[in-house]
């Protein structure tokens, strides 16, 4: 019985702070299954990162710019909790898989390392981010969305 009881003990894969609000109320008397996400835990003392999703239409441009620069692309972002202040980071990872986001739109996940964390960061806060993919002609910048839309209608 002690062995079975020990198997019921849940341990986080990292040491950190529980970010889930009211975990005692959330889990009280609730049956759980193996592999089910129960709590969000983060190492708030460690380096902060931004995880964002970009529509799949832009994933090719991001990948091409990443290959062309042979390094990490600069990123400027603002937290939605304080959109008046901009922060800098660099694109360190771009997923190779397209997944559906919260709105069931195909998107690619990217990870941004933050150069200097915001003064009062909040885990889970939304961001507005801009990845610097290099220079393009003004015609490309102005009309690439319209060209993609026309191509998708055509095919």
Are β-strands 73-79 and 49-55 bridged in parallel, bridged antiparallel, or unpaired? unpaired
**pLDDT value for 21:** 85
| Integer Cα distance of 87 and 127 in angstroms | 10
**pLDDT value for 121:** 77
Instruction: Count CB-CB contacts under 10 A for residue 112.
Output: 26
For the entire predicted model, the pTM comes to 0.70
> What tokens were used for 18?
């529980």
Q: Which residues pair with 125 in a beta bridge?
A: none
> What tokens were used for 78?
């603002």
State residue 55 phi and psi, 5-degree precision: -55, 145
* pLDDT by 10s per residue, the chain, length 155: 899 888 877 788 888 888 888 888 888 888 888 778 888 888 877 788 888 888 888 888 888 888 888 878 999 999 888 889 999 999 999 888 889 888 888 999 999 999 887 887 777 888 888 999 888 888 887 888 888 888 878 77
**pLDDT value for 88:** 93
**pLDDT value for 5:** 85
């Amino acid at each position: 019985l002690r062995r079975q009881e020990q198997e019921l003990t849940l341990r986080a894969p990292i040491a950190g702070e529980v970010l889930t609000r009211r975990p005692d109320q959330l889990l009280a008397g609730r049956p759980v299954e193996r592999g089910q996400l129960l709590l969000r835990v983060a190492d708030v003392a460690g380096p902060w990162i931004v995880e964002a999703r970009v529509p799949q239409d832009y994933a090719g441009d991001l990948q091409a710019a990443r290959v062309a620069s042979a390094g990490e692309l600069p990123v400027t972002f603002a937290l939605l909790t304080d959109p008046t202040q901009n922060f800098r980071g660099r694109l360190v990872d771009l997923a190779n898989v397209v997944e559906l986001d919260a709105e069931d739109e195909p998107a690619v996940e990217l990870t941004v390392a933050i150069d200097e964390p915001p003064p009062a960061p909040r885990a889970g806060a939304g961001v507005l981010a801009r990845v610097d993919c290099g220079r393009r002609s003004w015609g490309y910048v102005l009309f690439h969305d319209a060209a993609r839309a026309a191509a998708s209608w055509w095919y």
